[in-house]
Amino acid sequence: MGKNYADLHDPNAEYTMRELSADTMGVTATRGGGRDVEITDVQTTMVDGNFPWTLVRVYTDAGIVGTGEAYWGAGVPELIERMKPFIIGENPLDIDRLYEHLVQKMSGEGSVEGVTVTAISGIEIALHDLAGKILDVPAYQLLGGKYRDKVRVYCDCHTADEADPQACADEAERVVEELGYDALKFDLDVPSGLEKDRANRHLRPGEIRHKAEIVEAVTERVKDRADVAFDCHWTFSGGSAKRLAAAIEDYDVWWLEDPVPPENLEVQEEVTKSTLTPITVGENRYRVTELRRLIQNQAVDIVAPDMPKVGGMRETRKIADVANQYYVPVAMHNVSSPIATMASAHVGAAIPNSLAVEYHSYQLGWWEDLVEESVIEDGYIEIPEKPGLGLTLDMDAVEEHMVEGETLFDEE
């Protein structure tokens, strides 16, 4: 008689989740040497930073807890709660198997792309932290070792008047001289005062001149002291993006990011191949299957996956491996708390083609207070040799900055 999988949430059902998982995935997770550990719970809480960060903790019967983070977005905690029965009772060391198991089980909720992938990413990162602690190795070791001891950070910069070229140049100089960063990013999808209809994505000549003035002011101010990228947030038409990219070719632009909407890869490829200005894309694509098309079509000069959004640490490693076959660097998009920022840095340490990891919270004075350790120093993240991600949540700081209505994690 066949097994009845009808009610996966019923604790009195005939088959446990561990049996169900072993049956559907065709493997068993049992091992010796003190490594036969079981997941007992998964919890989330949201922190009200400059984005609503979703922190994830995975608990085990060994008393060891792993901490991760999912990219912000509505519905992520609910999806993680939905996935709990699929991994409770499982061995957290089987990261790849559990990741694929969650993708399969959540296919009805859209695990090909979108917020479901983001929710799985948060669990996957926590599993890396947890597995590192169980095995007493840093997370980068689980990805194959490291190429570098520290990872470069680029600072996403903002001013009170982001449309003023001189204000942007002043802030660039301040961030370089006072904060010690040698890699920066500014927004170019800012109003020029010359717009007629922003909905049609068309840039008038005066708008392009205004954006080129921002690029000129910033790059001329910092010169060789810093690399500078510029973000368009998928705002412009293909033709306007090509004209903008051409207009800034004479300046020392590190890259132009997301100049056209993300859905049409053919337009993206045409824009990239039309200009000498390096084009960066990736944060709005999911998993290696989607980013592979961008890379193989040579539609990007630099690929920018957002690690806690794209599928997690190992998925980002897979993307980097594909990119490396086409000699494409990886600059990880990142708007996260210290947890996912450090997880991105572990990935950056483990791949050969790492360019930098973004830092989006330099104006948030308490960002680093969420953890007990120092994270960024002089524009770099030194990779910890402590087990897992090498960070310890400061629960007092987490509680102080929780989104209203959230509850604190259970103590270890």
Residues 152, 228 within the same domain: yes
Residues 223, 344 within the same domain: yes
Residues 122, 227 within the same domain: no
Distance of CA 303 to the CA centre of its chain: 12
Residues 361, 224 within the same domain: yes
Q: pLDDT value at position 286? A: 86
Domain for residue 13, yes or no?
no
pLDDT, tens digit, 9 for 90 and up, residues 250-271: 999 999 999 999 999 999 999 9
Residues 81, 180 within the same domain: no
**pLDDT for residue 26 is more than 70:** no
The 10 Å Cβ neighbour count of residue 196 is 8
Residues 148, 168 within the same domain: yes
Q: Can you give the pTM of this predicted structure?
A: 0.91
Q: Are 351 and 288 in contact (CB under 8 A)?
A: no
Q: pLDDT value at position 2? A: 36
- Of residues 118 and 25, the one with the higher pLDDT is 118
Element (H, E) at 155: strand 150-156
pLDDT, tens digit, 9 for 90 and up, residues 173-197: 999 999 999 999 999 999 998 888 8
Q: How far is CA 309 from CA 100, 122, 180, 241, 323, in A?
A: 16, 8, 28, 26, 18
Q: What is the mean pLDDT of residues 329-356?
A: 98
Q: What is the mean pLDDT of residues 211-239?
A: 97
- Residues 357, 183: Cα–Cα separation, whole Å: 10
Q: What letter does residue 306 receive in the DSSP assignment?
A: B
Residues 173, 316 within the same domain: yes
Number of domains in the chain: 2
Six-digit token string for 270: 């045409």
Domain for residue 120, yes or no?
yes
Q: Which residue has the tokens 């930098």?
A: 356
Residue 12 pLDDT grade (very low, low, confident, very high; cuts 50, 70, 90): very low
The 10 Å Cβ neighbour count of residue 361 is 23
Radius of gyration of the chain (CA): 22
CA dihedral 244, 249, 252, 256 (to 10 degrees): 40
Q: Are 398 and 368 in contact (CB under 8 A)?
A: no
Residues 110, 58 within the same domain: yes
Residues 128, 240 within the same domain: no
CATH code at position 106: 3.30.390.10
The 10 Å Cβ neighbour count of residue 226 is 23
Q: pLDDT value at position 305? A: 97
Q: pLDDT value at position 3? A: 34
Q: pLDDT value at position 41? A: 97
Q: What is the mean pLDDT of residues 69-90?
A: 94
Residues 234, 367 within the same domain: yes
Residues 126, 235 within the same domain: no
**pLDDT for residue 29 is more than 60:** no
pLDDT, tens digit, 9 for 90 and up, residues 83-123: 999 999 999 999 999 999 999 998 888 788 889 999 999 99
Residues 43, 151 within the same domain: no
**pLDDT for residue 245 is more than 90:** yes
Q: Give the domain extent around 81.
A: 18-29+36-137
Q: Are 347 and 317 in contact (CB under 8 A)?
A: yes
Mean residue pLDDT of the chain comes to 91
**pLDDT for residue 46 is more than 70:** yes
Q: pLDDT value at position 111? A: 80
pLDDT, tens digit, 9 for 90 and up, residues 302-342: 999 999 999 999 999 999 999 999 999 999 999 999 999 99
- Strand ranges (E), 27-148: 39-48, 52-60, 65-70
